[in-house]
Structure 1
């Protein structure tokens, strides 16, 4: 009896062993070491976008409208939780706000895909902010009377002169006279480089009178995060008038691609 032949046929027809099958499969489909790195990178990017959207966002400064406080190319870190728990903007705060309806009549239309990519890049400080995003110094809050100027050329808030040490050297507090009362729930904001800043003064004759609704404030700029040589907090520096002192923090306007005089 030819048992060897039968055994050979039986071996050929028997299913492959599990170990052999896994080895063959891994040989055909080798594990990709980059998959783990890609997943980790995607998770980190998602975390950064969420953190930037709800907690802290870097904003690129594209103009000199707030020199010497903020220089072109600075990246400020904006605290989005500053006004989330009952706090409101104070005189001297440097705030980022959506200028739609106050500095810009309506949001410009654009390619949605390009807009999404720009938003993602701006969220991590790699691109200029949206066209409607600005950053300025709060000079008056709801109920304040803000006047320019007194006999010595100073801005007054509720009858008290404001010592604006942060102004650009040689700049006057304002070459445009004004006398306004800030409605409740709004802010009067100005840049530090007054001769190169288009701010509430430039919208006096428009609907809203140049006032920025508090609800449009994105957050408070608390730190300069870049470049390394300019790492610093935006410290208190002066009295903003009216019944007590308030912090006078550094400010400028973030326009990225920016309206109202582009980067003014």
Structure 2
């Protein structure tokens, strides 16, 4: 074989594979291009579907929007404030703690019909279902006592005591025209005691103590003969989540944390 023959053979061998690879690359690229290109309307539906699923999952397990329906949580949260609650803190065996501000479903008869109805606008109803709009039938209150606790009103400064520990709530509670932090059942004219709180229940109060239809308002008044004790406690399984941020109005945006006075409350005696 001459050197010319070897050169000719070499050129012929190289050109074949290059041509073949080039054709394969074009075909594969064309297929990928066809797979990626969807009509705009299909892409829109797909994106909306993914967003809807994510919104439902987030609402169910993580975060949900609510609004403040009354003045009962002033001065910290006022009428029509938009808040977000998180549900992670109460996963598994974890339960609400003293000082938490929680959203819970109406235990029955705590809310007037107008506040239980929820949104009437069709669009708002759909948004409420996926957690993008507040729903009706819920209340927002602060946890004062948990299972086993005993609450007493009041000491010589008008303060509540939990398991013998007086709570200094001046930083976040509004007494209004009352002289104590627990006025509802006796209007601060007499002391009252509640507890031990049953297992699986909490005792809640609004921060605006003279304008809150809360657990203290559901207590039996002294010498009442037709009142059945127990309606003042909220079942833990009705708690939806813990308020963790004041979202709107924007100029009052803030993270919501547990007040320091509740950190030193001792556990109930066995």
The TM-score, its normalising length taken from structure 1, stands at 0.69
> Is contact 1:65-1:197 (8 Å) kept?
yes
* Partner SS for 1:196: coil
- Cα 1:190–1:110 change in 2 (3 A) is closer
Q: Which residue of 2 aligns with 1:262?
A: none
> Is contact 2:52-2:130 (8 Å) kept?
no
> Is contact 2:110-2:213 (8 Å) kept?
no
* Partner SS for 2:210: helix
Provide the rounded CA distance (Å) in 2 between the counterparts of 1:144 and 1:229. 37
1:92 aligns with 2:114: no
Cα RMSD (Å): 3.1
- Cα 1:102–1:146 change in 2 (3 A) is farther
Q: Which residue of 2 aligns with 1:173?
A: 181
Q: Could you list the per-position Cα deviations for residues 164-204 of structure 1 after superposition, in whole angstroms to 9, with x for gaps in the alignment? A: 12112646412234310011221000000111111001211
Structure 1: runs of 5 or more not aligned: 1-30, 245-264
1:190 aligns with 2:213: no
- Cα 1:188–1:102 change in 2 (3 A) is farther
1:210 aligns with 2:207: no
Q: Which residue of 2 aligns with 1:199?
A: 214
Shift of 1:116: 10
> Is contact 2:116-2:136 (8 Å) kept?
no
Q: Which runs of 4+ in 1 moved over 6 A?
A: 108-111, 113-117
Shift of 1:66: 0.5
**1:1-264 mapped onto 2 (5 Å cutoff):** 33-101=40-108, 103=110, 118=125, 120-121=127-128, 123-126=130-133, 128-131=134-137, 133-164=138-169, 165-168=171-174, 170=176, 172-176=180-184, 177=186, 178-181=192-195, 182-205=197-220, 207=228, 208-240=230-262, 242-243=265-266
* Partner SS for 1:221: strand
Provide the rounded CA distance (Å) in 1 between the counterparts of 2:156 and 2:139. 31
The alignment covers a number of residue pairs equal to 210
- Cα 1:169–1:189 change in 2 (3 A) is closer
Provide the rounded CA distance (Å) in 2 between the counterparts of 1:187 and 1:102. 17
> Is contact 2:203-2:232 (8 Å) kept?
yes
Q: Which residue of 2 aligns with 1:247?
A: none
Provide the rounded CA distance (Å) in 2 between the counterparts of 1:46 and 1:201. 40
Q: Which is higher, the Rg of structure 1 or of structure 2? A: 2
Q: Could you list the per-position Cα deviations for residues 33-54 of structure 1 after superposition, in whole angstroms to 9, with x for gaps in the alignment? A: 3342233123212311221122
Structure 2: runs of 5 or more not aligned: 1-37, 187-191, 221-226
> Is contact 1:60-1:125 (8 Å) kept?
no
The TM-score, its normalising length taken from structure 2, stands at 0.67
Structure that is richer in helix per residue: 2
